[in-house]
Amino acid sequence: MICKAFPHTLSRLLLALCPNVTTRGIQLATAQLPHLQLMDCGMSLCANLKNEKKGLYFGEINGGIRFIRKSSTSKKESIHQKLIIKHGNLKKLSLWGCSAIDALYVNCPELNDLNLNSCTNLHPERLLLQCPNLKNVHASGCQDMLIGAIRNQTLITCKPQSLIKQFV
């Protein structure tokens, strides 16, 4: 809905910590917002904790016991999600803590900053970065194999003047 209201003016989309965001929604936003330069989707695509119990549980508040109903959304049931982002103007993309993403394909020629911190389920063999201007990649809390895949891909696809990478 916001994409239809501001398609020619919206340049920043901050969706961090929004529990109802889906990979399809992110892909639609990038397709419908041609002037988008910054998108933060941190912690919006999270995998369920395996030991989380559904239903009632006891919570202690000020020495008393209180029943709290835990709700579950169908979006968070699936841990395997693929995210494809293709955008001509996007400069900064943040997916920190998106543990539900296991495959990521990014084709953004203007992208210079990518945050993948704590994307714990992202598979190195299911990562494709086509971002020739990428300068900063944040990948703390990621598997060593994923960090290696990011390094290899950015060395191959980046322009010579953009080869200064920061893996934080």
Domain boundaries, the chain: 2-167
The model carries a pTM of 0.78
CATH of 2-167, one of 1.10.40, 2.60.40, 3.80.10, 3.40.50: 3.80.10
Residues 16, 36: contact at Cβ < 8 Å? no
Cα–Cα nearest to 45, from 24, 71, 69? 24
**What tens digit of pLDDT does each residue of 16-54 get?**
999 889 999 999 999 999 999 999 999 999 886 443 434
Q: At residue 57, does pLDDT exceed 60?
A: no
